Amino acid sequence: KAGVTQTPRYLIKTRGQQVTLSCSPISGHRSVSWYQQTPGQGLQFLFEYFSETQRNKGNFPGRFSGRQFSNSRSEMNVSTLELGDSALYLCASSLAVGNSYGYTFGSGTRLTVV
Amino acid sequence: GENVEQHPSTLSVQEGDSAVIKCTYSDSASNYFPWYKQELGKGPQLIIDIRSNVGEKKDQRIAVTLNKTAKHFSLHITETQPEDSAVYFCAASRAGGGADGLTFGKGTHLIIQP
């Protein structure tokens, strides 16, 4: 069965712009979580969506937002991009809210802000 | 919030030898401890996990141990092979609703020397 699909794989944006990343979870998975991975800070939790509702949120500014659609696909948006937003953005899906069933991660979207 | 420390940051072992990676956590309410393997250009892949009601879990060459009293858990890989070379992450969370996602360690770069 298909894994977690993230698009696009690579993205270059200019400081001040906004960006939207997409994530399609494994069929049947209803929870989608987003993480930011950087060399300095490692993997950090952004937010989790379940049944089109944000259930949990990490410690990131309001410029980072997301949403989930009725088919469980999710998008995250970053507005007013800063150089420090350059990172690998990972999406993970699971059967239920929280981490009881473990995550399956996608390969990520590599965002570079110039 | 939760804080996870992981050691060592780099581990080089001879092929066929064993590798041990150690993590400590701070939140006594954490009850779910997964380990992920990340290869270059890919997202993290769950390799084994353990819940707080279990002290040890094994899956072929991989085992994880948990000491709740000391708040530490370890990954053991026996008979290492070249394909074990990757970055390994430990994580901790309070599984279920209300969890703040997974808190990850900074990662261990495991190098298997031929």
For residues A81 and A18, is the Cβ–Cβ distance under 8 A? Answer: yes
Q: Which amino acid is at B108?
A: T
SS3 state of residue A84: helix
B111: nearest Cα among B11, B41, B39? B11
Distance CA A22, CA A75 (A): 4
* Confidence at B108, pLDDT banded by 50, 70, 90: very high
Of B44, B95, B97, the CB nearest to A105: B44
Q: Tell me which chain B residues have a C-beta less than 8 angstroms from the C-beta of A42.
A: 89, 104-107
pLDDT score at B100: 73
In the A/B pair of chains, how many CB contacts fall below 8 A?
A: 69
Nearest-Cα residue of chain B relative to residue A100: B95
pLDDT digit string, tens, across residues B9-47: 999 999 999 999 999 999 998 988 999 999 999 999 999
Nearest-Cα residue of chain A relative to residue B3: A44
Q: What is the pLDDT along chain A (114 residues), one digit of tens a residue?
A: 689 999 999 999 999 999 999 999 999 999 999 999 999 999 999 999 999 999 888 999 999 999 999 999 999 999 999 999 999 999 999 887 765 567 899 999 999 999
Of A35, A58, A107, the CB nearest to B100: A58
Q: What are phi and psi of B100, to 5 degrees?
A: -95, 40
- Say if the Cβ atoms of A102 and B107 lie within 8 Å: no
Distance CA A106, CA B102 (A): 16
pLDDT score at B54: 80
What percent of chain B is helix, strand and coil (3-state, nearest 5)? Answer: 5, 55, 45
pLDDT digit string, tens, across residues B64-95: 999 999 999 999 999 999 999 999 999 998 87
pLDDT score at B97: 44
A45: nearest Cα among B39, B8, B64, B4? B4
